[in-house]
Amino acid sequence: MWSADHFDKEIKCNMTDLSELIEQCSDTIFKVQFKKKVDPKNVEDQISAIKPADLKKPDALKKLSKEVVEGETVEITGHLLESENNLGRSLVIDLNAPSTSNVRSVDHRSIEWIIFRNVKYSLGKKAPGTDELPLKHEKDAAKWGSSKLAVGNWFSSASYYKVKSIEDKENCKVF
């Protein structure tokens, strides 16, 4: 089974590669980190929480301005519902959210990284000679290590499973 929490390689990709990658996820579980759209209420809350002494510290001021301009960082574990064009948006079902409101929108231009098929693809300078993405795994190779198995990890094959408890190396309860 593929994992959304375990990866054995990290590959640097450009923004176009990440947006094409999320379009290929379909029913396979993945985890994505991206920046949410800037929310005016969130900006008001951040500005109202500023103390006058903080305005004199260049580091605190720089951090605040970055948070206000970029938006909040969000991680979603889920699977793809539908995807727009290359640098558009994707609708993702968030497996950690309540089922009554679990459809989320991911802006492809703000993706920082994706864990897909046990490989972490992160935004950065793409190394020359990188194979076509997503990378292919050997059929007999282990996809995740049992030593890294933890309660709350997500896995998928044809269905989605969340680890509920670990009894020993060979047995774990899922739901």
pLDDT of res. 36: 87
**DSSP annotation string for 10-62:** EEEE-HHHHHHHHHT-TTS-EEEEEEPPP-HHHHHHHHHT--GGGGG-HHHHH
Q: What is the pLDDT of residue 37?
A: 83
The tokens for 72 are: 């909040």
Give me the residues paired with residue 76 across strands. 32
Would you list the domain boundaries of the chain?
2-36+72-127+142-174
**How does residue 31 score in pLDDT terms, banded at 50, 70 and 90?**
very high
73-129 pLDDT, tens digit per residue, is 899 998 898 887 777 889 999 988 888 888 999 998 899 999 998 889 999 887 776
> What three-state secondary structure class fits 85?
coil
3-class DSSP state of 158: coil
